[in-house]
Amino acid sequence: MAAIAMVLMRFLLMPFALIAVVLFAMGLHITGTILYHQAAWHQTVATVTDVDPYFETKKNGLTIDGINVAVTYVVDDAPMTWSGKGKVIGLYAASIGDKVELYYDPADPSNLDTAAMKGWRGGLLLLAATGGFTAFYVWFFWLRRRNAP
């Protein structure tokens, strides 16, 4: 009876293990992208020249708020400007005149990112929890009772 319960639990928990693997991969991708931007992109200091709050209402009634920003910065002695939704470059709060450290892609200086590890503690917790659950699942249900040849 216990063997049947173990087999049943193995397959009932499999969707959760697969979801944990996907979440772990997503966390690695996000962390890797941020670390890549910090290592390979160049850094500049931008000045916020315009801030305009906005509110969007989705079809389901959910209201999202944010800011539209305009920033000026210098790349290789050439002045550059960027404007758009602040969340695209990692700005969620800003005031006119603020100095913001941004990273830019050397191949396309209009591609900006704060490359800040916002929420990194939560991300590390997600990586640890999903990785730990998946490793325990694989060990407990698939590897621990295998006989070595």
State how beta strands 78-85 and 63-75 pair: antiparallel
**pLDDT > 90? residue 7:** no
Tell me the C-alpha distance between 85 and 66, whole Å. Answer: 7
User: In terms of DSSP bridges, do strands 42-57 and 63-75 run parallel, antiparallel, or are they unpaired?
Assistant: antiparallel
Condensed to tens digits (0 to 9), the pLDDT of residues 124-144 reads 888 888 989 999 988 888 888
pLDDT > 70 in the chain, percent: 95
pLDDT digits (tens, 9 = 90+) for 47-97: 999 999 998 888 888 888 999 999 999 999 999 999 999 988 888 899 999
Token digits of residue 29: 């991708």
- Residue 88 class from Cβ within 10 Å (0-12 exposed, 13-18 middle, 19+ buried)? middle
Residue 47 has a pLDDT of 96
CA–CA separation, 26 and 82 (whole Å) = 28
Q: What token pair was written down for 8? A: 């049943």
Between 14 and 149, name the one with better pLDDT.
Answer: 14
